[in-house]
Amino acid sequence: MGRGRARDSESRFLRYVEGLASVIGHADRAGPLHAYCLGLMVSRGRKSVEPMAAHIAPHRTSAQHQSMLHFVGVARWSDATVLAKVREMVLPQIERHGPIEAWIIDDTGLPKKGRHSVGVSHQYCGQLGKQANCQVAVSLSIANHHASLPVAYELYLSKDWADDSVRRGKAGVPEEIGFKTKPEIALAQIRWACKAGLPRGNVLFDAGYGNDSKLRAGISQEGLTYCAGILPQTLVWKPGIRPGLASKKRPRDTVPVKKLALGLPAKAWRTIKWREGTNDWLSSRFARVRVAVASNNEHPKKPKKEWLLIEWPEGEAAPTKYWLSTLPETISLLDLVDATKLRWRIERDYQELKQEVGLGHFEGRGWRGFHHHATMCIAAYGFLISERETIPPSGPRTAALFPQPVLPDSYRPRGTALAA
């Protein structure tokens, strides 16, 4: 990157930080706010507080460390307010390339040793691909084909954690936070996003969430469509059978989606290309069928029909993925596949949030610090999204473009009204 372009990027970074500082509260938080965001983007290796402080302030590491540690672990600024400011500044950059198309639900596992950090328990960790000691956070991102941005992020507490008053007290878990399943957290985030007036999109989620019928119903009640991953054993009514109550008395009237897929004729399957990958177009075989999901606990007068989308890659012995979708009946198969596969954006989110800005590197144990660190990571990631077009295709993808801190220790945003 040329010197002039680097200076322009630094100038935009200062303006971005000033925007965040306008909602951060006390004026003395502006300095550590800038230091924290800068550290997340330029530090090499682990991006916990101490190594970031050493990297950006090598001649006053101890003082910088204490300042940043207090900012992220103790200071009572609002994560929701800062994330709202990030959206205000970053969404216009995303929407320049088209309207928001999707809301993406997912969770991410953050491996953690010990048992004292907030929310740590032995549970499935996607990063490791197995059960392990970790923290898990549920998030909602909004996306189009150009980019995506997390807009909500909440730590999941297992029931053991949620019911343990001693550990809750030590970790500073707010009193109003009780036990909720991951789909319940996700639905609360969806309802919040609707109430907040975020630009709407088709909701995407994998089978870990899609198998929850209450989540699917709640999304529909909000007037949103979805493409929901489901398990192969999910029951639907057989084509031609009048839907009703699924029970032991009528087991032959329903069929698992895997069995239905295996019985489809060869002409039902089409090879679809949906996205250009690193080396070539991504493609696979797909089929779709209009179905009504069998319910075990209610007797709908007229169950809705929706798309069952099935993926069966060449060379596989059986289909590998299944989705239910409430997208319009008139949608083409190509557009249905394209909409469903846009969920890859959340995988890119988490890859870059972890690798580029250190989402999983926080070493504190408290609820506030966990969420403050995540908010700062999302803020730094938002700036990267805004800068994406300024980085040459052959250049680095990260914002490690700033050689060293560009502000003096006495820096305060200009013209900013900060609450006491």
Number of neighbouring beta carbons within 10 Å of residue 251: 10
Reference 390, options 129, 27, 65, 16; nearest CA is 16
Residue 347 CB partners (closer than 8 Å, separation 6+): none
pLDDT bin (cut points 50, 70, 90) of residue 8 is confident
Number of neighbouring beta carbons within 10 Å of residue 164: 15
Instruction: Give percent above pLDDT 70 in the chain.
Output: 86
Helix then strand count (H, E) for the chain reads: 14, 12
Which residue shows structure tokens 């502006």? 30
Mean pLDDT calculated for residue range 187-207? 98
Mean pLDDT calculated for residue range 346-366? 91
Reference 225, options 309, 327, 340, 338; nearest CA is 327
Reference 35, options 46, 45, 50, 25; nearest CA is 50
Query: 290 vs 299, which has greater pLDDT?
Result: 290
* Dihedral sign computed on CA atoms, order 236, 238, 242, 248: negative
CA distances from 348 to 80, 177, 196, 336, 355 (A): 23, 29, 25, 21, 10
Asked whether the predicted pLDDT for residue 152 surpasses 60, the reply is yes
Asked whether the predicted pLDDT for residue 263 surpasses 60, the reply is yes
Least confident stretch, 25-29, 56-60, 340-344, 396-400: 396-400
Q: Which two tokens stand for residue 33?
A: 């706010």
pLDDT at 207: 96
Q: State how far the Cα of 242 lies from the Cα of 252, in Å rounded to an integer.
A: 12
Backbone angles phi, psi at 82, to 5 degrees: -65, -45
Backbone angles phi, psi at 340, to 5 degrees: -70, -40
**Residue pair 105/140 in contact by the 8 Å Cβ criterion:** yes
Secondary-structure breakdown of the chain: helix, strand, coil percentages, each rounded to the nearest 5:
40, 20, 40
pLDDT bin (cut points 50, 70, 90) of residue 58 is very high
Asked whether the predicted pLDDT for residue 412 surpasses 60, the reply is no
**Residue pair 312/319 in contact by the 8 Å Cβ criterion:** yes
Least confident stretch, 144-158, 160-174, 234-248, 279-293: 234-248
Strands 226-230, 121-125: pairing kind:
unpaired
Indicate left, alpha or beta for 327 from its phi (over 0: left) and psi (-120 to 50: alpha). beta
Reference 399, options 378, 418, 381, 411; nearest CA is 381
Which residues share a beta bridge with 143? Answer: 102, 148
Q: State how far the Cα of 211 lies from the Cα of 234, in Å rounded to an integer.
A: 8
Least confident stretch, 194-198, 279-283, 303-307, 378-382: 279-283
Which residue shows structure tokens 């507490």? 157
Q: State how far the Cα of 6 lies from the Cα of 2, in Å rounded to an integer.
A: 6
pLDDT at 10: 87
Which residues share a beta bridge with 136? Answer: 109
pLDDT at 302: 66
Q: State how far the Cα of 241 lies from the Cα of 254, in Å rounded to an integer.
A: 8
Asked whether the predicted pLDDT for residue 401 surpasses 50, the reply is no
Residue type, 97: H
Give the tens place of pLDDT for each residue, 29-52: 999 999 999 999 998 889 999 999
Residue 374 CB partners (closer than 8 Å, separation 6+): 79, 137, 153, 359, 362
